[in-house]
A and B are shown apart, each in its own frame.
Chain A
Amino acid sequence: MKKSVFLGTLTVAGIAAGVAGAATLDDVKARGTLNCGVTTGLVGFAAPNANGEWEGFDVAVCRAVAAAVLGDASAVEFVPTTGKTRFTALASGEIDMLARNTTWTFSRDVDLKFEFTGINYYDGQGFMIPRELGVSSALELAGATVCIQTGTTTELNLADFFRSNNMEYEPVPIETNAEAQQQYLAGACDVYTTDASGLAATRATFEDPGAHVILPEIISKEPLGPLVRHGDNDWGDIVRWTLNALIAAEEYGITSANIGELTAGTDNPEINRILGTEGNLGEMLGLDAEWAVRAISANGNYGEIFAKNIGESTPIGLARGLNAQWTDGGLLYSPPFR
């Protein structure tokens, strides 16, 4: 009685009182939208464009999951989170999954009770410095003032790097990427450090990107990936295998362009299984057979998403590097679909 009065009042007051119990999949289906946590704005990964639509590399993962589960790539509610709020948002059920360039670490996985469902970008922390300072190695940075964007693992990596190399430095913690840029460009700090991909994205927005160099040293491993709550393995499987489907699609040459004809049936059983024309993988996930088809056609396969948002033809201009398929010498390696 008490609860229903409470809920009744809430409904009247215009509150969406959803029940985010154990079965996230059912909640998402009942709600009709996927609540996906993203960053508050990092061009290339997740940022609203001039029309207010979210786009970017992380956003594409959210859209693929929404397409797989709900059949509509636009049925995503993007919830901007800061470094501080992202974990509570996920733990409390405000969001169903977090795709916010979050580093997979032991304590986050084990102590904070989250489940990383894979790695969509292999990153590492780097340094950017004005070319005119003539620095060519991070080991020459003794005594430098370093701008850091707070709320990430960067502070810890930075402290470790300078301590292990016995160098002094002065950290300048900054809340948002835009303000960090401002500080860096005004010369209030000599170096800007964050994930190498973020550095490239930031440099791309500069007036004169050529005047800044990204130093070759990568001081940390930053495997970034989407994560979900501990304990709901069914939902975790869906997010994990959607990501794997995107990666495998690139490996097997399934693109958003040719997916239509491939769905008609091919002689490669692995492709057939991914696309649901053979076997019942979708059913095992609790979805229909077409789930991966929808996920891939939403934004294309991993390679297409990469090229469109952060690839070399975009202003951000990231090379595939570690994020190439294992067949091309990279680390992307989807487990087999069988």
Chain B
Amino acid sequence: MATITDPPKGAFRLSMLINDTRYRSLTFQFIALFLLIALFAYLGSNLVANLRAAGLNISYEFLGEPAGYDINQTLIEYDSQSSHWRAAVAGVLNTLLVAFLACLTATILGTIAGVLRLSNNWLVRKLMAIYVEAFRNVPVLIWIIIIFTIMTAVLPAPRAFRGDEPEASMLFGAFAFTNRGVYTPLPIFGPGSSVVIAVFIASIVGVFAYRRYATKLLYDTGRLLPMGWPSLAILFVPTLLIYFILGRPIGLEYPELRGFNFSGGIQIRGSLIALWFALAIYTGAFIAENVRAGIQAISKGQTEAAASLGLRPGRIMNLVILPQALRVIIPPLISNYLNITKNSSLAIAVGYMDITGTLGGITLNQTGRAIETILLLMLFYLVISLGISALMNVYNNAVKLKER
């Protein structure tokens, strides 16, 4: 055997670099590497020459200078005297905020729509098909603009809430839906509120403990404890009790029309809502298709087997179909999450100050440092994307079908 595959012993000739399979791959790789280095050297030398000709330089010093502009919605302390760097961080947090909200909403929406697309109700099935096709086949930029326009044009301006006979009024006297955004009450934490919060967190833990206990009981003895009502009770009753016993330590600050705007309460800006909804509804359509494909990938026999065991349709879905379908659904779900994060860069179309709006927008305009800002911008998205896919891969491996 060995004698056959043994290479012919002979002096190394130059032609072997191309003709001999052992060396050929090295030759190719060397050429590729050389070309790559040459390309980068070429681009780099052009850059240097261009910058020298224009008298510019690459420097990140501008990040430390005051930004000079204001950002209407930030999660961190920021004013116009903060640095460009801080503006960028505020933008990053805004990107993450809208991406998180949109991912969550899109998942819920997509799962519901995906399940309903397989409903035995003809009308619902068709409606969901229309939703999915309409949103999948129209660019997300158009949807963002349309939803933003709907927000602006359909909802009343804060002005409409003014006067003795206002054209619009607040929902429950607490929520104001305006075309500048939604205003909701803000909880004010008085003394003793930490106790209430602690009890609430304990209740959440309690719910999980109860469910685990119920499952264990089911597996051990076959007794089925009720799930829904006890869970709700555990979640709310102790908290409410403690809340009233302590004399309602958590108050609400209601939004109030004062001057030009509502003040007090929490304002969720219209641009955030528009972007959030647009991304969620758009991506929800894609997720719906994934969910449908995932469910359909589970063979009919599984449903029938579960039904013959006497499980109710809801339980069949929850206990048999979805856990199996998840394996098919998760990988495309990850890429949809990535798409949401990347599509959130379209925030500039609605004036939401995400990282593309602050660092890649106004900072770029004001400082003119195109190369530096765009490089930072790409780096940020790259880190986020790689981070999410790494995280999700870990999860993906955990739920993978373990074949023996």
Given a CB threshold of 8 Å, the question of whether A touches B is answered with: yes
Indicate whether A174 reaches chain B with its CB closer than 8 angstroms: yes
Which chain A residues border B259 with CB–CB below 8 Å? 142-144
B156, closest chain A residue (CB):
A187
Please encode chain B, from 345 to 367, with 1 for each CB lying within 8 Å of some chain A CB and 0 for all others: 00011010100010001101110
Chain B, 50-107, CB within 8 A of any chain A CB: 50, 53-56, 68-72, 79-81
B62, closest chain A residue (CB):
A111
Q: Are B270 and A188 in contact (CB under 8 A)?
A: yes
Query: Taking each of B56, B263, B351, which has the highest tally of chain A beta carbons within 10 Å of its own beta carbon?
Result: B351
Give CA–CA (A187, B260) in the complex, Å: 11
Query: Taking each of A108, A153, A188, A229, which has the highest tally of chain B beta carbons within 10 Å of its own beta carbon?
Result: A188
Q: Known A113-B56, A160-B68, A175-B349; judge A190-B260 contact (CB<8 A).
A: yes
B149 partner, pick from A84, A108, A163, A182, beta carbons under 8 A: A182
Indicate whether A159 reaches chain B with its CB closer than 8 angstroms: yes
A150 partner, pick from B53, B260, B365, beta carbons under 8 A: B365
B51, closest chain A residue (CB):
A91
Q: Are B68 and A143 in contact (CB under 8 A)?
A: no
What's the minimum C-beta distance from A232 to chain B, rounded to whole angstroms?
11
Indicate whether B179 reaches chain A with its CB closer than 8 angstroms: yes
Give CA–CA (A174, B259) in the complex, Å: 23
Which chain B residues border A187 with CB–CB below 8 Å? 156-160, 179
Q: Are A159 and B179 in contact (CB under 8 A)?
A: no
Which chain A residues border B156 with CB–CB below 8 Å? 187
A188 partner, pick from B54, B71, B180, beta carbons under 8 A: B180
Please encode chain A, from 83 to 125, with 1 for each CB lying within 8 Å of some chain B CB and 0 for all others: 1100110011000000000000001100111000000000000
Query: Taking each of B80, B361, B368, which has the highest tally of chain A beta carbons within 10 Å of its own beta carbon?
Result: B368
Interface size on B, residues (CB 8 A): 42
Which chain B residues border A231 with CB–CB below 8 Å? 53, 55
Which chain A residues border B50 with CB–CB below 8 Å? 92
Which chain B residues border A156 with CB–CB below 8 Å? 68-69, 80, 366
Interface of A is mostly: mixed
Which chain B residues border A169 with CB–CB below 8 Å? 70
What's the minimum C-beta distance from B373 to chain A, rounded to whole angstroms?
10
Which chain A residues border B153 with CB–CB below 8 Å? 182, 186
Give CA–CA (A91, B51) in the complex, Å: 10
A159 partner, pick from B80, B180, B270, beta carbons under 8 A: B80
Q: Known A108-B368, A159-B80, A182-B152; judge A143-B261 contact (CB<8 A).
A: yes
Q: Are A186 and B368 in contact (CB under 8 A)?
A: no
Give CA–CA (A87, B371) in the complex, Å: 12
Indicate whether B370 reaches chain A with its CB closer than 8 angstroms: yes
Write the residues of chain B forming the contact surface with A, with a CB cutoff of 8 angstroms: 50, 53-56, 68-72, 79-81, 149, 152-153, 156-160, 179-180, 258-261, 263, 270-271, 348-349, 351, 353, 357, 361-362, 364-366, 368, 370
Task: List 26 A-B residue pairs with CB atoms under 8 Å apart, sorted by A's residue number.
Answer: A92-B50, A108-B368, A143-B259, A144-B261, A150-B357, A150-B365, A151-B362, A152-B365, A155-B70, A156-B69, A159-B68, A160-B80, A163-B80, A170-B261, A171-B71, A172-B271, A172-B351, A173-B351, A175-B348, A179-B351, A182-B149, A182-B152, A186-B179, A188-B157, A188-B270, A190-B261
Write the residues of chain A forming the contact surface with B, with a CB cutoff of 8 angstroms: 83-84, 87-88, 91-92, 107-108, 111-113, 133, 141-145, 150-153, 155-156, 158-160, 162-163, 169-175, 179, 182-183, 186-190, 229-231
- Per CB-CB distance, the 4 closest pairs between chain A and chain B, nearest first, are A187-B157, A159-B80, A155-B69, A143-B259
